[in-house]
């Protein structure tokens, strides 16, 4: 998958979730209960499922946009998974030093 397609898919997660929430809210208030707008309260706006979807979509947009910029700007070799296992670095223990050198090694 090309970096541009990958960046586009990552970037569309938040707006698509927001669009689903807006569609749900419009269908709920406009089609299924058009006279129910009088019942809209602050609690309904804060805890309504459609409004929560819009809020989560907004938060995903805030998180995903910097990732999209990084993925779009990355070189293809930067996007490859690093499957190499790194060997632990060899450490020299203080016991290998003499008594005076062990104090300076700490």
Q: What confidence tens digit (pLDDT) does each residue in 1-26 have?
A: 777 888 888 889 999 999 999 999 88
Quote the percentage of the chain above a pLDDT of 70.
74
Give the end-to-end CA distance of the chain in Å, rounded to a whole number: 50
pLDDT in tens, 28-43: 887 877 776 677 788 8
């Amino acid at each position: 998958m090309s970096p541009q397609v990958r960046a586009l898919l990552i970037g569309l997660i938040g707006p698509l979730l927001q669009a689903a929430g807006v569609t749900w809210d419009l269908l709920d208030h406009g089609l299924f209960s058009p006279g129910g707008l009088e019942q809209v309260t602050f609690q309904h706006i804060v805890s309504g499922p459609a409004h929560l979807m819009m809020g989560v979509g907004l938060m995903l947009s805030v998180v995903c946009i910097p990732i999209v910029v990084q993925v779009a700007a990355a070189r293809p070799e930067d996007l490859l998974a690093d499957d190499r296992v790194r060997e632990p670095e060899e450490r020299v223990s203080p016991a290998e030093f003499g008594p005076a050198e062990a104090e300076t090694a700490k």
